Chain A
Amino acid sequence: MAHLLEVKDLEVNFALRWGDLTAIDGVSFTLDKGEKLGLVGESGAGKSVTGFSIINLISKPGYISGGSIVFEGKDLSRLRREEMRRIRGDRISMIFQDPMMTLNPVFTIGTQMAETVLAHRNVSKHDALDLALDKLEKVYIPSPEKRLTQYPHEMSGGMRQRIVVAIALLTDPALIIADEPTTALDVTIQAGIMDLLQELCDAENMGLILITHDLAVVSQVTEKIAVMYAGRIIEMGPTEEIVNRPRHPYTRGLIDSLPWGRKAADRLTQIPGMMPTLTDIPPGCAFHPRCTVREAHCLEKRPDLQPDRARDHVVACHNLGMLT
């Protein structure tokens, strides 16, 4: 059975005045219908760039310099602008961190939702508004008819994000890409939105790519996790595997530095140093300066993703044998 989305050796460069910088260096993963993937990493790892490049939203000076993005049989990186526009927002929807990136403050919710529908479907305005109402109900917004005539500033942040989810559903997409959808929200609202996304994806059999730095959120919602570092995926596998039996030293360090369950007397385990910026990526394995199990060969050759223990749990590390 073919995958819904297959990203192969994706490369994204930034053309700057002193040369080209590689932001994404050979990222590959697959996503099936109804599957939920978590793309995890810290800021600068390249997870947002990966998400944006799937629907070709990278703006200059960034550009896709290699690889393929095959969605429903078509390579999105090779499509012309007009064809891409038909897929973007229709078959693939995106949810951003700040609802005000999606919602225009000077238009009512009804106008904006109808506009989205009318851009992709040949229906009347009346039908578009009915569809909007239907989706608003699906995201459990109280009194949806009232919301259609309201402006974004009249609602709370959590409600706005729900409306953004509703807008993403308007065209019954096959795939939703959510870029840090709950980072700006309170914890109780966050729980509600994450529940909602999970429920909807299960009910409508939609694929979900959840881009976030929050390992805890991802561990509850997704079936597969890919951990990114300095523009590459360094570990990928089933969520349960990654969370309970992380193999890559970075993933382990990340999980260990979370403060959960630690008492005040202990210091937190910290990974020394910082993620390298794009201009300073070390030779060999990008993580080696901060790694506790590095060897000489880690500086020479970059490790590729290899299966470790389970066939679907891959890790990019030379020294897996040394880890307990």
Chain B
Amino acid sequence: MEENTPLLTIENLVKHFDISGGLLDQISFEGRRFVRKRTVVKAVNNVSFEIQPGETLSVVGESGCGKSTLARTVLGLYPPNEGKVLYQGARIDDLSPQEMLPFRAKMQMIFQDPYASLNPRMTVARILEEPVVFHRKVRTAAEVRDKVAQVMEQVGVDPKWSDRYPHEFSGGQRQRISIARALTVDPDFIVADEPVSALDVSIQAQILNLMMDAQEEFGLTYMFITHDLSVVEHISTRVAVMYLGTVCELAPVDELFDSPRHPYTKALLSAIPRLGETKPKHIKLKGEVVTPINLPSGCVFHRRCHFADDRCSREIPLLRRLDSGAHVACHGVEEGRIS
């Protein structure tokens, strides 16, 4: 394995969901004829990037941009329609559940909702033992108990409470238990899907610090999904901005915040309320919010973009590397129309 083999590679990933329903649901009567309509949610459209070991790549975007679907496709929860997912150079998107098992111990996930991500009918001990036992990480029952106690301490939950049920803990504590569950199998790569969005501000700080400590101690690589750009600036090495299933901009974090290039990134950054600033001029996007069912032609953003021209409505822009190191998918930036 070479020095700089990326830990995770995504190549031209496409994920669509066909929600047409059965034959009877698709057929409707319009204009005096029977029409058959297919409804497809185009959640992820041709996404490619790499994640290097030890880095934190944040994927940001608003609801409907496909970031959660991307996260789940990367972890194999959804089979992709097109494209590849590679882990340390090995292809993992077409493996059988049996073949996937060793990878499962290396790739884990932390979820958004601290209330729904733990089985309400299992004690914390059982929840944390399950991955250890399933992957046969240790031999004896005593070792299992030790491992559980160890991860609980690492995340700051008293191991004496392991026989309690999730509903007896607060939101922040449950999220710690979720993180503990991910850590029990000693993974290398963790996908975190909005892990702090459902928590109070003061607890958010605690959990973020915990995640950063864990990253340092265990050499973890994170793919961090969020809509909260303030968190992104603090913890990321690189940031990918998504809109309607496409990556608009992918840049190192300082670069993105100091000089955003893509019009959507600029609008997003300007819309965030910042403490202490009164009345910033936020860029109002024109037009209606589009859904991933009726994707526009050409650039997915062109209908809401102030700089869109004819080419934007016909041709999908590809992610191109700029001199600064940032990648932007925009005709206007490529042509030099937008600074």
| A contacting B, Cβ–Cβ less than 8 Å | yes
Taking Cβ atoms with an 8 Å cutoff, the residues of A that contact B are 42-43, 142, 156-158, 186-192, 194-195, 213-217, 219-220, 243-244, 253-255, 257-264, 267-272, 274-275
Contact B282 A264 (CB under 8 A): no
Which one of A42, A157, A263 contacts B201 once the chains associate, using CB atoms below 8 Å?
A42
Chain B interface extent, by class: 35 or more
In the bound assembly, the distance between CA atoms of A214 and B200 in angstroms comes to 9
Interface centre among B172, B289, B291 (most CB of A within 10 A): B289
Which residues from chain A contact B277 at a C-beta distance below 8 Å?
A: 219-220
Chain B residue at smallest Cβ distance from A142: B288
Interchain CA distance A216-B285 in the complex, whole Å: 21
Tell me, in angstroms, the Cα distance from A42 to B227 when the chains sit together: 20
19 contacts between A and B (CB under 8 A): A42-B203, A43-B171, A43-B200, A188-B285, A191-B272, A215-B201, A219-B273, A219-B275, A243-B275, A243-B276, A254-B202, A258-B275, A264-B235, A267-B213, A268-B234, A269-B205, A270-B202, A274-B170, A274-B172
Kindly state the separation between the CA atoms of A32 and B335 in the bound complex, as whole angstroms: 54
Residue B206 is within 8 A (CB to CB) of chain A in the complex: yes
Which B residues lie within 8 Å of A217 (CB)?
273
CA distance A254 to B205 in the complex (A): 9
Of the candidates B63, B200, B273, B277, the one having the most CB atoms from chain A within 10 angstroms of its own CB is B273
B residues near A267, Cβ cutoff 8 Å = 209, 212-213
Contact partners of B271 in chain A: CB under 8 A: 187-188, 190-191
In the complex, what distance in Å separates the CA atom of A216 from the CA atom of B277? 9
Task: Tell me the chain B residues, 218-240 only, with Cβ under 8 Å from chain A.
Answer: 227, 229-231, 233-237
Give Cα A256–Cα B271 distance, bound, in whole angstroms: 22
Which residues of chain A are within 8 angstroms of B291 by Cβ–Cβ distance?
156
List the 4 closest pairs (A to B, CB-CB), nearest first: A257-B205, A186-B62, A259-B234, A42-B200
Does B237 lie within 8 Å of A191, measured CB to CB?
A: no
CA distance A253 to B201 in the complex (A): 10
Closest to B229 in A: A187
Q: With a CB–CB cut-off of 8 A, which chain A residues contact B12?
A: none
Q: What is the CB-to-nearest-CB distance from B157 to chain A, in angstroms, rounded to a whole number?
A: 12
Whether A263 and B234, one on each chain, are in contact in the complex, defined by CB atoms closer than 8 angstroms, is: yes
Residue of A157, A158, A243, A274 with highest tally of chain B CB at under 10 A? A274
Taking the complex as formed, is B160 at the interface, i.e. its CB lies under 8 A from any CB of chain A?
A: no
In the assembled complex, the Cα of A269 lies from the Cα of B204 at a distance in Å of 11
* From A190, A191, A215, contact of B275 by CB (8 A): A215
Query: Which chain A residues border B284 with CB–CB below 8 Å?
Result: 192
Say whether A260 contacts B274, CB under 8 Å.
yes
Flag if B203 contacts A274 (CB, 8 Å).
Answer: yes
Q: A186-B63, A219-B276, A264-B212 are known contacts; what are 10 more A-B pairs with Cβ within 8 Å?
A: A188-B267, A217-B273, A219-B278, A220-B273, A257-B204, A258-B275, A262-B233, A263-B234, A264-B235, A267-B213
Residue numbers in A under 8 Å from B231 (CB-CB): 259
CA distance A268 to B209 in the complex (A): 6
B residues less than 8 Å from A244 (CB atoms): 276
Q: Which of B202, B229, B230, B274 contacts A42 (CB 8 A)?
A: B202
Question: Who on chain B is nearest to A43 by CB?
Answer: B200
Report whether A216 and B203 are in contact in the complex, using a CB–CB cutoff of 8 Å.
no
Q: Given A254-B201, A254-B202, A268-B209, do A187 and B233 touch, yes or no (CB 8 Å)?
A: no
Complex formed: what's the CA distance from A187 to B202 in Å?
20
Would A264 and B209 be within 8 Å (CB), given that A187-B62, A215-B275 are in contact? no
- Shortest CB distance A269–B (Å): 7
Least distance between A195 CB and chain B CB atoms (Å): 8
Instruction: Pick from A156, A157, A188, A258: contact of B268, CB below 8 A.
Output: A188
Residue of A nearest to B275 (CB): A216
Distance A220 CA – B282 CA, assembled complex (angstroms): 12
Task: Please determine whether A260 and B230 come into contact, CB atoms closer than 8 angstroms.
Answer: yes
Specify which chain B residues have a CB less than 8 angstroms from the CB of A268 in the assembled complex: 205, 208-209, 234
Residues on A with C-beta less than 8 A from B124 are none
Interface status of B253 (Cβ within 8 A of chain A): yes
Q: How far is the CB of B47 from chain A (nearest CB, A)?
A: 20
B279 contacts A by Cβ under 8 Å: yes
Contact partner, B273, options A156, A191, A255, A257, Cβ 8 Å: A191
When distances are taken between beta carbons in the complex, the residues of chain B under 8 Å from A142 are 288
- In whole angstroms, how far apart are the Cα atoms of A166 and B206 in the complex? 39
Q: Are B282 and A216 in contact (CB under 8 A)?
A: no
Contact status A259-B202, CB under 8 Å:
no
Taking CB atoms, residues of chain B closer than 8 Å to A271 are: 202, 205
Query: A271 vs B206: C-alpha distance in the bound complex, in angstroms?
Result: 8
Centre residue among B208, B274, B275, B276 by max chain A CB count within 10 A: B275
Rounded to whole Å, the gap between the CB of A181 and the closest CB of chain B is: 13
The interface residues of chain A lying within 8 Å CB-to-CB of B230 are 216, 258-260
Check A259/B62 contact, CB under 8 A, given A187-B229, A215-B275, A220-B277.
Answer: no
Contact digits for B68-95, partner A, Cβ 8 Å, 1 yes 0 no: 0000000000000000000000000000
Q: Is the CB of B268 within 8 A of A264?
A: no
Find out whether the CB atom of B234 lies under 8 angstroms from the CB atom of A188.
Answer: no
Contact across chains for A187 and B227 when beta carbons are under 8 A apart: yes
A219-B204 Cα distance, complex, nearest whole Å = 20
**Interface core residue of A191, A261, A269, A275 (most chain B CB under 10 Å):** A191
Which of A186, A213, A259, A263 lies at the interface centre, i.e. has the most chain B CB atoms within 10 A of its CB? A259
Q: How far is the CA of A270 from the CA of B213 in the complex (A)?
A: 14
Residues from chain A with a CB closer than 8 A to the CB of B209 are 267-268, 270
Q: Which residues of A contact B236 (CB under 8 A)?
A: 264
With a 10 A CB-CB cut-off, give which of B172, B201, B202 has the most chain A CB atoms.
B202
